Amino acid sequence: MSLRIVTLNIWNRMEPWDKRLITIRNELATLDADIIGLQEVVQIKPTSAMGDAEASTEFGFDQARAIAEGFDYATCYGRNVESPYPMGNAILSRWPILRTMALPIPRVETDEHRSLLFAEIKSPYGTLPVFCTHLNWKLDEGHVREVQVRYITDQIRGLVAPNQSFPPILMGDFNAEPDSDEIRFLRGRTSLGGTSVYFADAFGVAGDGSAGATFVRSNPFAAVAREPDRRIDYIFVRGPDEQGRGEPLEARVCFCEPHDGVFASDHFGVTTTLST
């Protein structure tokens, strides 16, 4: 018995969205994930100013529901309410979502508006606390991301007591490489502000030993940024767990092949299998 998790930054509605949606859904069908975390998800509620095409669904334009359609996933969505943009994070679940919470994460005097989405999921393995986030993106904003990961782990500590449920799952686009201080903090390799934590980096623990890059120049959608190849998308699981739950058994990069010549996003994704 195991649990399959997937994370992907879907690159909002950048063109060609309709073709990218087909690529995303095709790979989801093969991954057969139990829980999916998505970042850069656009949700626009209908208004009288919308055209018929955009206003044809309950929410006007909802990327999470478009991705989930036909897969029988429950969905939830969360954005920073202070943001001027209708973009945030989403979680898709094979099982019922009991409650959700969207929390703005610190901006640290930048113009970014990021958030942390929490979903409590009722599963056959007990209550699953799942968190999805997206940190500041600029290469020189490691100091901002350090504040953000401290805030996120504080929120997880407050919302999920040790061993009261399945170990918390934290995933998303962290815009930081494995040897950065913000990721080393999550992996228990360094402290920040006199605090330390430990979350298992699923790919680092159970990957194939490669760099596992998820933002790469071989993807034409990413190549235009002219940034170095690197791993910036993660699935973490808090540990240790006294019952042995949440151990990464296998992990790999996904959404890394095009469909009809079109990649799913400017990011590749990550998938992992966790023990239950």
The predicted-structure confidence for 9-54, as pLDDT tens digits, reads as follows 999 999 999 999 999 999 999 999 999 999 999 999 876 444 444 4
CA distances from 117 to 7, 94, 120, 132 (A): 13, 17, 10, 5
- Owner of token pair 């007591």: 161
Q: What are the pLDDT digits (tens) for 77-106?
A: 999 888 889 999 999 999 999 999 999 999
pTM: 0.94
CA distances from 252 to 10, 144, 275 (A): 18, 28, 16
Q: Which of 90, 84, 174, 178 is nearest to 136 (CA)?
A: 174
206: left (phi over 0), alpha (psi -120 to 50) or beta: alpha
- Owner of token pair 């094979």: 94
User: Looking at the DSSP assignment, which residues form a beta bridge with residue 192?
Assistant: 195
Joined together, the tokens standing for residue 122 give: 């009722």
Joined together, the tokens standing for residue 70 give: 């036909």
Tell me how far apart the alpha carbons of residues 251 and 13 are, in angstroms, rounded to a whole number. Answer: 27
Percent of the chain past pLDDT 70, that is, above it, reads: 95
Prior bond to 16 cis, omega within 30?
yes
Residues 6+ apart with CB under 8 A from 66: 21
- Owner of token pair 């393995």: 125
Tell me how far apart the alpha carbons of residues 215 and 262 are, in angstroms, rounded to a whole number. Answer: 15
Helix (H, G, I), strand (E, B) or coil at 203: helix
